Amino acid sequence: MNIQIKKCSREDLNILQEISIETFNDTFKDQNSPENMKAYLEKAFNTKQLELELSNISSQFFFVFLNNEVAGYLKVNINDAQSEEMGDESLEIERIYIKNKFQKCGLGKHLFNKAVDIALECNKKKIWLGVWEKNENAITFYEKMGFVKTGAHSFYMGDEEQTDFIMIKTLI
């Protein structure tokens, strides 16, 4: 099993858009209305939005490859790119998205470890993320990685307000 992680650039926009839509849709379509899914996907993963995110110097994207095939990606944020005000000592994992056919291959752990490496390189003391309260697989994974629930915030799926748990892992 050959696993590689590669930093994304603006030239990767189309692949990033495809994998974002595919993984988000596969993960959440059964628990949300088609209208709210469509609205969210069009807002979050349109070309202009992803170009903005890719060009933000406080955000980084990384593809994970399994046997030379793009299997998923990681998005991390620091400073003002964080989706919540968590301070200068924090790094946010905004997305760890893995395609269905590559789940349970340990790729999420590789991306998580990449996020830890980045946090340490940037002298961050904690990593945080928001995870939907109904995404039990992800919550279990993050708890195994040492995260603890510390709060919650609202997340909008189309016009529906949902709750994301805020989970934090202290590094130092």
Q: What is the pTM of this model?
A: 0.95
Which of 40, 73, 97, 142 is flagged as catalytic? 142
In the residue annotation, 142 being an active-site residue is answered as yes
Reading the chain (172 residues) residue by residue, the pLDDT tens digits are 899 999 999 999 999 999 999 999 999 999 999 999 999 999 999 999 999 999 999 999 999 999 999 999 999 999 999 999 998 999 999 999 999 999 999 999 999 999 999 999 999 999 999 999 999 989 999 999 999 999 999 999 989 999 999 999 999 7
Q: Which domains does the chain have, with CATH numbers?
A: 3-170 (3.40.630.30)
Amino acid 149: pLDDT: 97
How many Cα atoms occupy the beta-carbon half-sphere of 93 within 13 Å? Answer: 30
pLDDT at 172: 73
